Amino acid sequence: MQSINRFLYGPTPEEKVRAWQVKLRSEQRTLEREMRQLDTATKKAQQTVKQLAKKGDVKSARIMAREVVRSHKQMDRLSVSKARLGSIGTQLQQQLAMVKVTGSLQKSTEIMKLSNSLVKLPQISQTMRDMSMEMTKAGIMEEMLDDTLQMEDDEELEEEADAEVDKVLYDLTEGKLGQAGTVQEELPSIQDQVEDEETERAMEQYRQQLHGLLSS
């Protein structure tokens, strides 16, 4: 009888919730892998900043420091998103308890708000869109509005970039770079000399690696 009902009416509310919880845990693992990769690439980029600072290559050090700032922001975004996935899982667990009482899934503004924010993250955007459509059909949330999905992180980064880049430079070079008005005087200028090829290759490698992680 249960198999017949499933064929006629589809999965039960409990089965739907269980399936969503499996997807949520899978996406959390995806974000964890991304965070580990980003952390490794960021540490390498930080080391490159230090090497460039020792050479006196202020311009290149600043370019790499900007990438470090971007990676820090991305790490924060991934961490918050991972926590939001966990919050949706908790909300769904509460839905399971309600199903036993009411026999159906209930509309949740909290799940809708969390899902809308997670759709903005490229790494899990499609999965969250699909899951949101399923939850909408199940009556948990209303249809999402596409005009809420535009990210504004690039604009925010531009507004705060200079101060944050200076702070990264100051921290990584133990105060030799990053202080306003002292960047050029603190280290001898050797930018007219031949660049160290190994450092240049490392810089480009880490920039490309970080760019791939930040734009994925």
pLDDT of 9: 56
pLDDT of residue 20: 94
Helix, strand, coil: what percent of the chain each, to 5? Answer: 80, 0, 20
DSSP 88-146: HHHHHHHHHHHHHHHSS----HHHHHHHHHHTT-GGGHHHHHHHHHHHHHTTSSPPPPG
* Residue 200: C-alpha distances to residues 61, 64, 103, 178, 183 (Å): 11, 11, 63, 21, 21
Report the pLDDT value the prediction gives residue 180, as an integer from 0 to 100.
42
The pLDDT assigned to 82 comes to: 96
* C-alpha neighbours within 13 Å on the C-beta side of residue 104: 6
Q: What is the pLDDT of residue 204?
A: 65
pLDDT averages per 10-residue partition of the chain, 216 residues: 52 91 96 95 90 85 88 93 96 89 88 91 91 91 58 50 80 70 42 51 63 61
Q: What is the pLDDT of residue 60?
A: 86
